[in-house]
Chain A
Amino acid sequence: MRVNAPTVLCVSLLALLAAGCDEKLSDVAGPTPNLQPTFATIQRDIFNAADSSGRANCVGCHTNVGRNPAGGLNLINGQSFNALVGVASTGKPGAIRVVPGNPGASYLIHKLEGRSDIVGQRMPRTGGPFLTPGQMTILKRWIELGARYD
């Protein structure tokens, strides 16, 4: 079969187009490679578990098991969503912990990034390691998408 040059060129160009694929989310997620912008994975990988970077988990302090939750924020399974989304902060009057669709206005993000407007310490209060920029990006994306219980 004779294959002419234009055919070869067209096939080559189509092959180039077919080569497209995206960067992997796991590359962004770093020490929590299975973290996604869903509440279930945030609960599992951020609230419940420490990670290989040395970051402390949240439920070590934010729990009602054997103690009062730090800052009045309970992040254990089944309680955390209702304690975060649309709920006022007990530490900073007027601040809302998670504002669906608006990570910039969500006080949770301010506390995790250690912004200048926070009351008290940056979280985790161990002084670091803190959430990585990639983990923060994924957490913000969950809020951007409406902070759903998914």
Chain B
Amino acid sequence: MLVVATLTASAQTVAHSSSTTATAAAQDDDPDMDPNRAQPDFSLVNLPTGLRLPRHKMAFRVTHRFGRPLGQGDFGDLASDLFGLDSGAQIGLEFRYGLIRGGQVGIYRTSDRTIQFFGQYEVLSQKAFPVGISVVANVDGTNNFRSSYSPGLSAVVSREIGERAALYLQPAWINNSNPQPQELVDDNDTALVGIGARVNLRGRTYLVFEAAPRVTGFSDGDHHVSFGIEQQSGGHVFQLNFSNGIGSTLAQVARGGLDAWHLGFNISRKFY
């Protein structure tokens, strides 16, 4: 009896081991696990990229947008405030998960108590088409997702240029972009066309740029513009950025900038 049990346990162990090995092999074969030098991160500054998140893997991002306008006061004032670092900041925490091959979902919360849920799915790969195309659906809600919901739908068209750069176009539609009740506004939707680029300077240092000009609908304030410099290090990307606003969800981007430049940073980490 003991011999039979031992043999059964051994067989189960072998089966489990071979199963684990097969799973590991499958993950090793997943091309999404390979480093992408042209698209090292899932976002530019605020706008998404076309980078695929491997299935059942995850990534995390912290965003900071310091509230002090860089143009306020003279240079001495600015230096006294350590270029805005002494001021309060809008902080965001993002978690994303690779649900299926080419598809990812995530949640992003900013410290003004806005929560954004999003999903992204690559419908065309640049391997088979001149550009990569992903569809992104998102919805953010204020007051911890209890009021004023702003859903959006967009396409991220990306073009990798070797391993040196990637260009982006993101036509997007955002509903309820105007924070006021619809009885009080003329336009409650915004259509914008996000543009962006990430260029590898040398090694693992990149320049990033993005803008989101609104083409129709609600368009108060200035059009969103951000640029930054970033350093990739292992699974991390450290980015120092400058934006003409402190909004970072797609609906906040659609509401426009603040006519003043703000310092910020992003730190992202891939868990694979």
Contacts and interface: CB of A to CB of B under 8 A. Distances in A.
B150 A25 contact: no
19 contacts: A9-B100, A9-B105, A13-B135, A14-B137, A16-B137, A16-B151, A17-B137, A17-B151, A19-B149, A20-B139, A20-B149, A23-B147, A23-B148, A24-B181, A27-B147, A28-B180, A28-B181, A28-B184, A137-B184
Interface of B: 99-100, 103, 105, 117-119, 121, 135, 137-139, 141-142, 147-151, 153, 175-176, 179-184, 188
Contacts of B117: 16
A100 to B, nearest CB: 15
Given A5-B103, A22-B188, A25-B184, A13 B179 contact: no
A148 interface: no
A17 B172 CA distance: 13
A70 to B, nearest CB: 29
Contacts of B139: 16-17, 19-20
A12 interface: yes
A3 interface: no
| Leading 6 A-B pairs by shortest Cβ distance | A13-B137, A20-B151, A5-B100, A23-B148, A25-B181, A16-B139
B119 A13 contact: yes
Contacts of A25: 181, 183-184
A50 interface: no
Given A18-B151, A20-B149, 20 more contacts: A5-B99, A6-B100, A9-B119, A10-B121, A12-B119, A16-B119, A16-B139, A17-B139, A17-B153, A19-B141, A19-B151, A21-B149, A22-B188, A24-B181, A25-B184, A27-B147, A28-B181, A37-B183, A37-B184, A138-B183
A141 interface: yes
The CB with the most chain B CB atoms within 10 A, among A9, A14, A24, is that of A9
A16 B150 contact: no
B47 to A, nearest CB: 18
Interface residues of A, number: 25
A43 interface: no
A9 B121 contact: yes
Contacts of B142: 23
A63 interface: no
Contacts of A23: 142, 147-148, 179-181
A37 B185 CA distance: 11
Given A23-B147, A23-B180, A28-B184, A16 B138 contact: yes
